[in-house]
């Protein structure tokens, strides 16, 4: 089969700045996010959304606001809405965005904390109205001691994890140098989406579709985990986070273990997650949804534009084989690479095919997700925040998902977390499952009892 990236490199990406403000289709993943927030679906009534709190002592909020508005002008998807006809549109102009500021001069620490908690409860679980701009919110809490905490809420319809890193880098530069002239972007997210959609008429796409049609008939569902209740009984999902970390030395050791095993660090982390799921699942064969942030290099500026480039691949795990974790990691990675050769058909399309062939709602079938923002290029791995800033809290949510396991580099180490629907598992079971994950990653970093 012709490689997906190779095929697209041979196609001419058409830039069309004259039509950049005309509506254009949602990607498969955007459509899944948009539909998924509907109340009628199990674990719906929630947006695909991320929320962070950033401490920024001494920040000049006027200067920060100017930088934010320059970003809004630079990156079209910050002006985007999703229309009722399931198409997205970049608005040609929007009002000046003014982050809300809560001043608490002389307030006691308890009062500051109560204000922060109230904002967290509201903003961390926001469901924006898709057709109404903006699909993000920024609020600042400023205390009397010079401290400022930024609360940032983002609908992931308009930006993926890579895009948020781009925004973090650009805001740092524009804040530190208000007169900075960032190089113009010659391509838009609309150009990219329409160019990729054109490939659906190719023979290569038909071959990928045939591959996944055959695979869909044999794929198992998600892991059969010990739930505390049926997902349909949770009318308004609320996500909770469990977090862990490997320090720089441990992370370097784990990467070395992956290299010796001839797998990527993300491949080893995926296998470790599958290993934990396998211990708790009542069925040894299951599928994990793997999130990809794959930007096809059809233009020099593709890596610089903001949008939801997310794609999904369904990775089958067979825990019934007696083998070492590293051997299983190699097998899982081989399967992943084979599936990626056919990624012209998205995981969302495969889920729909599963729904047709097996008579079940596809979005309910693969509810456990692995999300890695580890990149081969170290410059992509850095979030590049402004100097002196610190992310002190974060949470994400995704419709129809039980568990989203996220891994990323953080100040030289590895940060890992599970965002889980509250109440879907008992607290004891969730704590025990995550403790298994934490112990396994530290054991891999120490190479204790790890066999190849």
Alpha-carbon distance 123 to 149, whole Å? 14
Q: CA–CA separation, 400 vs 35, rounded Å?
A: 10
pLDDT at 93 > cutoff 70: yes
Distance CA 185, CA 183 (A): 7
Neighbours of 10 (CB within 10 A): 9
Tokens at 96, concatenated: 């000046």
| Mean of the per-residue pLDDT values of the chain | 88
What pLDDT score does 379 carry? 47
Record the tokens describing residue 382, joined without a space: 């850095």
Q: What angle, rounded to 10 degrees, do the helices at 203-216 and 347-358 form?
A: 50
Pairing of strands 148-155, 136-143: antiparallel
pLDDT one-digit tens code per residue, 304-343: 999 999 999 999 999 887 888 899 899 999 999 999 888 8
Query: Where does CATH 3.30.559.30 sit in the chain?
Result: 200-446
How does DSSP classify residue 185?
A: P
Taking only the tens place, the pLDDT of each residue in 97-118 is 999 999 998 888 899 999 999 9
- Tens digit of pLDDT for each residue in 201-216? 888 889 999 999 888 8
> According to CATH, where is 3.30.559.10 located in the chain?
18-176
Q: What is the pLDDT of residue 424?
A: 94
Q: Which position has the token pair 């290993």?
A: 275
pLDDT at 425 over 50: yes
Q: State the Cα–Cα distance between residues 365 and 209, nearest whole angstrom.
A: 20
Domain covering 18-176, topology = Chloramphenicol Acetyltransferase (3.30.559)
Contacts (Cβ under 8 Å, ≥6 apart) of 385: 54, 168, 172, 391
Would you give the DSSP letter of residue 385?
P
The residue to which tokens 């403790």 are assigned: 435
Task: Give the DSSP H/E element, type plus range, for residue 327.
Answer: helix 325-340
Measured over the CA atoms of residue 153, residue 155, residue 161 and residue 163, the dihedral's sign is negative
Give tens-digit pLDDT for 427-437.
999 999 999 99
* Residue of 302, 292, 338, 335 whose CA lies nearest to 316: 335
User: Could you tell me which residues come within 8 angstroms of residue 360 by beta carbon, excluding any fewer than 6 positions away?
Assistant: 221, 354
Element (H, E) at 242: strand 239-246
Work out the average pLDDT over 127-131.
94
**Per-residue pLDDT tens over the stretch 220-264:** 989 999 999 998 888 888 899 999 999 999 999 999 999 999 999
CATH class label, 200-446: alpha beta
């Amino acid at each position: 089969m012709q490689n997906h990236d190779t095929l697209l490199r041979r196609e001419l990406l058409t830039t069309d700045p004259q039509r950049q403000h005309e509506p254009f289709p949602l990607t498969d993943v955007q459509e899944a996010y948009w539909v998924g927030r509907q109340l009628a679906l199990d674990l719906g009534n929630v947006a695909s959304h991320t929320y962070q709190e950033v401490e920024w002592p001494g920040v000049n909020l006027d200067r920060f606001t100017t930088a934010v508005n320059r970003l809004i002008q630079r990156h079209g998807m910050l002006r985007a809405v999703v229309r009722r006809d399931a198409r997205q549109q970049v608005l040609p102009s929007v009002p000046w965005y003014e982050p809300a500021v809560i001043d608490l001069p002389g307030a006691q620490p308890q009062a500051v904390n109560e204000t922060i908690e109230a904002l967290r409860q509201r903003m961390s679980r926001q469901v924006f109205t898709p057709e109404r701009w903006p699909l993000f919110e920024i609020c600042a809490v400023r205390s009397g001691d010079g401290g400022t905490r930024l609360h940032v809420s983002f609908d992931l319809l308009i930006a993926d994890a890579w895009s948020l890193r781009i925004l973090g880098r650009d805001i740092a530069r524009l804040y530190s140098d208000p007169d900075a002239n960032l190089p113009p972007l010659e391509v838009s997210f609309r150009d990219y989406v329409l160019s990729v959609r054109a490939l659906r008429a190719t023979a290569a796409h038909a071959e990928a579709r045939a591959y996944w049609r055959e695979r869909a008939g044999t794929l198992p569902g998600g892991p059969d985990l010990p739930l505390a209740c049926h997902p349909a009984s949770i009318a308004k999902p609320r996500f909770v986070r469990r977090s862990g970390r490997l320090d720089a030395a441990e992370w370097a050791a784990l990467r070395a273990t992956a290299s010796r095993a001839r797998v990527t660090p993300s491949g080893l982390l995926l296998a470790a997650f599958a290993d934990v799921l396998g211990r708790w699942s009542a069925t040894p064969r299951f599928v994990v949804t793997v999130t990809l942030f794959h930007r096809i290099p059809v233009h020099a500026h593709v890596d610089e534009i903001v949008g939801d480039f997310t794609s999904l691949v369904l990775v089958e795990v067979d825990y019934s084989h007696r083998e070492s974790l590293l051997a299983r990691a190699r097998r899982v990675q081989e399967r992943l690479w084979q599936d990626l050769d056919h990624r012209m058909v998205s995981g969302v399309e495969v889920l729909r095919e599963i729904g047709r062939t097996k008579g079940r709602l596809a979005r309910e079938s693969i509810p456990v997700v692995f999300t890695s923002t580890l990149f081969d290029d170290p410059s992509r791995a850095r979030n590049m925040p402004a100097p002196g800033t610190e992310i002190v809290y974060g949470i994400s949510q995704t419709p129809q998902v039980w568990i989203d396991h996220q891994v990323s580099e953080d100040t030289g180490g590895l940060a890992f977390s599970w965002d889980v629907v509250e109440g879907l598992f008992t607290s004891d079971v969730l704590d025990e499952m995550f403790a298994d994950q934490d112990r396994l990653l530290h054991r891999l970093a120490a190479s204790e009892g790890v066999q190849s």
